[in-house]
């Protein structure tokens, strides 16, 4: 007998108190403390790494705070060391607050400024340093008209502008401009200069490209010199950047264009957070299993007839009419021989003769059915099976 | 621990409150704290699961197809009421129902729960774990824990062929000459002389005895008794194939093989036939031993008294399953020869598989057949018979040819076995048990045991 563990006899009391299989708090702590320590270690290392490398605020290209290769932090730091007050501004109000004869405004992108903002910039008194192709170029510097594309590469000054002459060759390109009368054009490409300065009531400097100011290129050629000479021309530099995204709707100029986010009440995101909590609780509720999953060894489920079906399919796939016909004929012969009073190993002739005698059929037909040629096609095989059945029935019921 | 739907519901309603709150961030934080407090309170006040005590009772063995009741007594020795749900986990094929039971045990009391098992397969089924989820008074959270409360139920073969037993027993009584019809017993062993009563067969009158006494005496015969029958069950790979349709209706949704493969393994049909034979043979006064073998001996019972034979047999059969290995006929014959010293009827329940038999049984059969009378019984596949009758399309005729091929091979094999002096019973699943019983009765009446 292999019956397991008989139950304690009735009256002997309950099962031992140690039947519980759930882990106790102490077990959980012992089991989990290793994982906990590892997680804590990973967190500490990550925190230390972040602290050691310092903050690195990512921003738009040529942001004075951005230390990535595309940023402009290197130039901003150098200018600061040289006594230039670098102000990082984005809104038009901020820009116009600094407006004055001692200020130069550095524009690398004007896509966030509206038409009216640009108009106010045009009316201002500050110098303008427009670096790279900006959308509002035609209004800010109407004299410097773009003429052609120019490949960015190292170019020679080729003009009398002191800032350019002192800097020497610079990595510049982007746009080649027409040189209006009374303006200075430097760093010429085949189609025209890539740096144009007009002087009048205010000095406006336009470069075809701003790559030379970026952290990546500042150390090459005379890039740093040119950037410092241009941007450090005035004691105050208003460095215009795109507004930070976190500033939200309030800082966005043009109060008439509220975004979808501004129109949703502040309660809604928090309600969504609360719904998330509800969802999490529902998941915990439904996901908690009542007891263990019970595995079981299942028996094999193979139909015994599978081999026979496989053989039938093989016959069919190979169109094995010869084998199929021979098997069917042999089976019929084996079945009718005893009914004809013949031994199991009786020869074809005696079987044919006895069958023809019993059924009254033509012996030649019986021969062709029982021992004739292999059917030429599947239809012939089906017909042969029918004939064999007929013959067998007639032998059984003459 | 476990949370309930109420906790999620509170959080969901809280989302509406957050929508209306003037300071939503604080509302979310506050709701979280409230929920945490509710859950903590509930966990604190819920009845503890760990000190619960369990006791089991009920059936230890049952036939396949029956439903057994297992009782589970839950005792709560703590000071707090335990209210919640309980799950008694059994393997899927034990068919335990209901899946979860409501539980409410006041402090210091006990409650009796009933779990019904309707197994879908033979074998031993063991209880896995009892899990209790004890709800707190607020119904927000619950304590949960499992206990191991061992119990095992042995699911015995159903012995469906016992419906054939009365007819065979009446034939047996005819053989023994004890039948009310008063026809001459066909046994071959001289039993006794008794006085003639009208209706007795006149051919059985013993004239010599009649001359000695004044009365007319008749001889009575009875079949030989106290012969040995050894049932050998092949549990190798050929026994795993499923044949026919399972005679027990499987409740829908039970785990197991898909419907189209839902036949019974050859092994189970063989067991059914073996049980009928054993029941018949013990009534006929023979001793029945049982051996299950594939590569090694899987089960062996011997020397049981007549009343215990059937019980011992079903017990030995219950945990057997077909192994996916080739049977080792040589070691099987060795096992039989070492166990059966005297001449006996060896009933070999296997499959007439030409490939397996050619290399396995046939070379070693003479060793067995010289010392014992061998009867080979095999289950034929009704699907093969249906395929052999297929006509009408090329596909079914090719299938018919394949089926005829197999039948011819089986017939050749049967002939070879008969040449070795073996008896062969090759019958469809439903007919195997009565055919085997009839073959046994024929052997007995002809005195070949």
Residues of chain B above pLDDT 90, percent: 66
- CA B262 and chain centroid, separation: 15
Q: Give ranges for CATH 3.40.50.410 in chain B.
A: 228-445
pLDDT in tens, A286-316: 999 998 999 998 888 888 889 999 999 999 9
Q: Which two tokens stand for residue A70?
A: 């595309």
Whole-model pTM above 0.90?
A: no
Q: Helix B394-419 vs helix B361-371: angle between axes, to the nearest 10 degrees? A: 40
Poorest-confidence range of A53-57, B32-36, B59-63, B138-142? Answer: A53-57
In this complex, the residue of B60, B265, B405 whose CB is nearest that of residue A327 is: B405
Distance CA A123, CA A131 (A): 19
- Reported ipTM: the value is 0.76
Question: In this model, does residue B120 exceed pLDDT 90?
Answer: no
Distance CA A329, CA A312 (A): 16
pLDDT in tens, A150-208: 888 888 888 888 888 888 888 888 888 887 777 888 888 888 888 888 887 788 888 88
pLDDT band at B401 (very low <50, low <70, confident <90, very high): very high
**Rg for chain B (alpha carbons), in Å?**
32
Q: How many residues are given for chain A?
A: 398
Q: Three-state SS for A321?
A: helix
Interface test with B, best of A6, A20, A288 (most B CBs within 10 A): A20
Long-range contacts of A22-30 (CB under 8 A, 24+ apart): A22/B49, A22/B50, A22/B144, A22/B145, A22/B146, A24/B50
Task: Work out whether strand A127-131 and strand A146-155 pair parallel, antiparallel, or are unpaired.
Answer: unpaired
How many helices (H) and strands (E) chain B has is answered by 12, 22
Average pLDDT over residues B83-87: 95
Please give the DSSP secondary-structure letter assigned to residue A245: G
Residue B408 and residue A334: Cβ atoms within 8 Å? yes
Q: Number of Cβ pairs closer than 8 Å across A and B? A: 254
Interface of A with B in 263-292 (CB under 8 A): 266-275, 277-279, 281-282, 284-285, 288, 290-292
Q: Could you tell me the residue ranges of all domains in chain A?
A: 73-244, 316-396
By C-alpha distance, the chain B residue nearest A311 is B402
Residue B56 and residue A7: Cβ atoms within 8 Å? yes
Beta partners for B292?
B233, B299
Distance CA B244, CA A303 (A): 9
Q: Give ranges for CATH 2.60.40.10 in chain B.
A: 1-156
Reading phi first (left if > 0) and then psi (alpha if -120 to 50, else beta), residue B244 is in left
By C-alpha distance, the chain B residue nearest A321 is B398
With tokens 């015995």, the residue in question is: B156
Our CA-based measurement puts residue A315 at a distance from the nearest CA of chain B, in whole angstroms, of 6
Cis before A378 (ω within 30): no
Question: In this model, does residue B188 exceed pLDDT 80?
Answer: no
Residue B394 and residue A298: Cβ atoms within 8 Å? no
In this complex, the residue of A3, A15, A271 whose CB is nearest that of residue B152 is: A3
Our CA-based measurement puts residue A28 at a distance from the nearest CA of chain B, in whole angstroms, of 13
CATH code for residues B1-156: 2.60.40.10
B315 touches chain A (CB under 8 A): yes
B71 touches chain A (CB under 8 A): no
B447 touches chain A (CB under 8 A): no
Distance CA A180, CA B361 (A): 111
B355 touches chain A (CB under 8 A): no
pLDDT in tens, A106-137: 888 777 788 888 888 888 888 888 887 777 77
What is the fold, at CATH topology level, of the domain defined by B228-445? Rossmann fold (3.40.50)
Q: What DSSP string runs through B49-118?
A: STT-EEEEEE-SEEETT--EEEEEEEE--SSS-EEEEEEEE--GGG-EE-SSEEEEE-TT-EEEEEEEE-
Averaging pLDDT over each range in A21-25, A32-36, B445-449, which range is the top one? A32-36
């Amino acid at each position: 007998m292999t019956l397991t563990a008989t139950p304690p006899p009735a009256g002997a009391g309950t099962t031992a108190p140690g039947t519980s299989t759930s882990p106790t708090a102490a077990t959980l702590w012992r089991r989990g403390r290793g994982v906990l320590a590892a997680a804590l270690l990973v967190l500490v290392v990550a925190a230390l790494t972040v602290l050691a490398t310092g903050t690195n605020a990512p921003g738009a290209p040529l942001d004075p705070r951005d230390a990535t290769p595309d940023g402009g932090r290197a130039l901003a730091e150098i200018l600061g060391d040289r006594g230039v007050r670098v102000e990082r501004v984005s809104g038009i109000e901020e820009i116009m607050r600094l407006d004055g004869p001692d200020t130069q405004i550095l524009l690398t992108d004007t896509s966030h400024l509206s038409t009216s903002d640009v108009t106010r910039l045009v009316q201002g008194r500050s110098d303008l340093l427009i670096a790279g192709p900006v959308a509002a170029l035609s209004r800010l510097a109407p004299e410097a008209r773009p003429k052609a594309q120019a490949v960015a590469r190292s170019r020679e000054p080729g003009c009398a502008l002191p800032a350019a002459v002192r800097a020497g060759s610079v990595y510049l390109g982007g746009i080649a401009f027409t040189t209006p009368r009374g303006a200075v054009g430097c760093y010429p490409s085949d189609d025209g200069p890539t740096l144009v300065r007009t002087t009048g009531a205010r000095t406006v400097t336009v470069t075809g490209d701003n790559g030379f100011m970026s952290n990546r290129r500042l150390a090459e050629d005379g890039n740093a010199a040119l950037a410092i000479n241009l941007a450090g021309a005035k004691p105050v530099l208003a460095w215009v950047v795109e507004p930070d995204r976190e500033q939200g709707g309030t800082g966005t100029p043009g109060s008439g264009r509220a975004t979808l986010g501004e129109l949703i009440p502040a309660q809604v995101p928090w309600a969504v957070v609360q719904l998330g909590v509800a969802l999490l609780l529902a998941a915990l509720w439904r996901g908690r299993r009542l007891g263990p999953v019970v595995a079981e060894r299942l028996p094999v489920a193979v139909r015994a007839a599978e081999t026979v079906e496989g053989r039938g399919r093989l016959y069919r796939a190979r169109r094995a009419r010869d084998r199929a016909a021979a098997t069917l004929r042999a089976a019929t012969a084996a079945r009718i021989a005893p009914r004809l009073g013949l031994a199991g190993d009786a020869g074809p002739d005696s079987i044919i003769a006895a069958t023809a005698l019993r059924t009254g059929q033509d012996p030649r037909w019986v021969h062709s059915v029982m021992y004739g040629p292999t059917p030429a096609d599947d239809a012939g095989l089906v017909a042969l099976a029918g004939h064999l059945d007929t013959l067998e029935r007639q032998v059984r019921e003459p | 621990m476990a949370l309930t739907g109420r906790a999620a519901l509170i959080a969901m309603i809280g989302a509406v409150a957050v929508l209306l709150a003037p300071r939503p961030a604080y509302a979310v934080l506050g709701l979280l704290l409230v929920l945490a407090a509710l859950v903590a309170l509930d966990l604190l006040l819920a009845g503890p699961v760990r000190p619960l005590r369990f006791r089991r009772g009920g059936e230890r063995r049952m036939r396949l197809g029956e439903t057994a009741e297992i009782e589970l007594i839950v005792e709560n020795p703590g000071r707090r009421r335990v209210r919640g749900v309980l799950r008694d986990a059994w393997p899927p094929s034990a068919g335990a129902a209901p899946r979860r039971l409501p539980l409410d045990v006041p402090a210091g009391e006990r409650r009796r729960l009933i779990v019904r098992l309707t197994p879908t397969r033979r074998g031993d089924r063991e209880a896995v774990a009892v899990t209790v989820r004890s709800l707190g008074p607020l119904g927000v959270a619950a304590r949960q824990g499992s206990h191991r409360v061992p119990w095992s139920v042995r699911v015995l073969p159903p012995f469906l062929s016992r419906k054939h037993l009365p007819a065979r027993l009446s034939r047996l009584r005819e053989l023994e000459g004890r039948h009310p019809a008063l026809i001459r017993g066909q046994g071959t062993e001289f039993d006794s002389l008794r006085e003639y009563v009208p209706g007795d067969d006149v051919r059985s009158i013993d004239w010599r005895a009649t001359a000695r006494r004044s009365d007319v005496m008749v001889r009575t015969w009875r079949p030989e008794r106290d012969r040995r029958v050894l049932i050998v069950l092949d549990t190798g790979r050929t026994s795993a194939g499923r044949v026919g349709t399972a005679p027990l209706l499987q409740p829908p949704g039970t785990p197991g093989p898909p419907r189209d493969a839902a036949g019974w393994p050859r092994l189970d049909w063989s067991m059914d036939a073996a049980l009928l034979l054993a029941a018949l043979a013990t009534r006929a006064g023979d001793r029945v031993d049982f051996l299950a073998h594939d590569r090694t001996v899987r089960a062996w019972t011997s020397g049981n008294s007549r009343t215990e034979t059937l019980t011992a047999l079903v017990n030995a059969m219950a945990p057997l399953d077909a192994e996916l290995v080739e049977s080792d006929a040589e070691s099987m014959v060795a096992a039989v020869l070492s166990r059966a010293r005297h001449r006996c009827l060896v009933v070999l329940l296997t499959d007439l598989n030409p490939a397996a038999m050619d290399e396995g049984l046939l070379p070693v059969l003479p060793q067995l057949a010289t010392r014992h009378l061998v009867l080979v019984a095999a289950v034929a596949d009704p699907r093969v018979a249906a395929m052999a009758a297929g006509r009408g399309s090329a596909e079914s005729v090719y299938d018919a040819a394949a089926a005829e091929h197999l039948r011819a091979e089986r017939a050749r094999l049967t002939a070879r076995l008969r040449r070795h002096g073996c008896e062969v019973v090759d019958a469809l699943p439903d007919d195997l048990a009565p055919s085997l019983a009839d073959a046994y009765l024929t052997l007995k009446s002809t005195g070949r045991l």
